[in-house]
Chains A and B, each alone.
Chain A
C-alpha cells in the first residue's frame, strides 16, 4: 500500500528566514505530486504540481518554489519567508493518469 509523509508537522520561523518542507511517497512509482496551502480563513489552494522529476508547474505567483529531486520526493522552499506565508501546507499524490489525490498529514507553518 502507499503512504505519504510530510515533515515537520509544525514549524515556527522568523520573517526573512528560509523554508524547506519535505514530502515523500512510498509504495508507488511515477506519482503526480502536489502542494496545497490553506491560509487562515481561506480555502485550500493548489500551489504547485509535478508530473515527473524536475517538472514543476506553478499555479499561483508567490514567494515559494517547489522542486522534485527524486521520483517520490517533493520539496517546498522559500529563500525569505513573509508573514503571509503562514498557513497549513498539504502535500498530495495521485497515480499517473488518474485524478483522485491522496493527501498527507500536513505541516502547520507560523511565520513571526
Chain B
C-alpha cells in the first residue's frame, strides 16, 4: 500500500529564505508526482507535475525534483515571500488515484 509522507509538517521562515519541502513515498511504481498549494479554506492549486520519466520541473521560483528509486521528491522555493504562505501538498499519481501526503504548512514572515 502506497504511503506518502511530508516533512516537516510545519515550517516558519523569514522572508527571502530559500527552502526545501520534502515528500517521500513507499512504492516507486508511480506514474507521476504533483505538487499543490492549498490556501486556508480553499481548493488546490497545481504548482508542478513531474512525469515518472522526468527528474525535475521548474516554474518561476519553484523547482521540484523526483527520484523514483529512492522514493523522494523535493520542492525548492527560492527567495520566499509572505504570499508563499500556504499548505503544500504532494500527491503520488497511480491508476485512478491520487495519494496525497498530509502537507507542509508554510509561513513566511515579513
* Known pairs A44-B89, A90-B44, A106-B42; A100 contacts B97 (CB<8 A): no
Indicate which residue in B44, B96, B102 contacts A57 across the interface (CB closer than 8 Å).
Answer: B96
Binding site secondary structure of chain B: strand
Measured CB to CB, the nearest residue on chain B to A106 is B43
- Asked if B101 is at the interface of the complex by the 8 Å CB criterion, the answer is yes
Binding site for B on A (CB under 8 A): 32, 34, 36, 42-46, 49, 51, 57, 59, 90, 92, 99-101, 103-106, 108
Binding site for A on B (CB under 8 A): 4, 31-32, 34, 41-44, 46, 49, 89, 91, 93-103
Given contacts A44-B89, A90-B43, A103-B43, 19 further A-B contacts (CB under 8 A): A32-B96, A34-B98, A43-B4, A43-B89, A43-B102, A44-B91, A44-B100, A46-B99, A49-B96, A49-B97, A51-B96, A99-B31, A99-B93, A100-B34, A101-B93, A103-B44, A104-B43, A105-B42, A106-B43
List 3 A-B pairs, minimum CB-CB distance, nearest first: A44-B100, A43-B102, A106-B43
